[in-house]
């Protein structure tokens, strides 16, 4: 009986740890995706500096639309 209780307790602890790790992994991936999107937006804005006038405005608007800035 004691071994069954110990196994149940160990399984429950294992499930809790797995769930916590899964949640933390998802948060890390979300943060990394956000940082990459921000960096891509900055790079796109810098590429737009090569243009002038309406072309630059259009380029900046496209960058904002693409990267959600």
pTM over 0.85: no
Q: Per-residue pLDDT for the chain (69 aa), expressed as one digit of tens each?
A: 556 676 667 677 777 777 777 888 888 899 999 999 999 999 999 999 999 999 999 999 999 999 886
Per domain, the residue ranges of the chain are 2-67
HEC readout, the chain: CHHHHHHHHHHHHHHHHHHHHHHHHHHHHHHHHHHHHHHHHHHHHHHHCCCCHHHHHHHHHHHHHHHCC
């Amino acid at each position: 009986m004691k071994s069954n209780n110990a196994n149940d307790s160990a399984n429950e602890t294992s499930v809790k740890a797995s769930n916590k790790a899964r949640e933390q992994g998802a948060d890390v991936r979300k943060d990394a995706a956000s940082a990459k999107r921000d960096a891509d937006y900055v790079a796109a804005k810098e590429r737009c500096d090569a243009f002038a006038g309406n072309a630059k405005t259009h380029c900046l608007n496209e960058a904002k639309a693409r990267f959600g800035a």
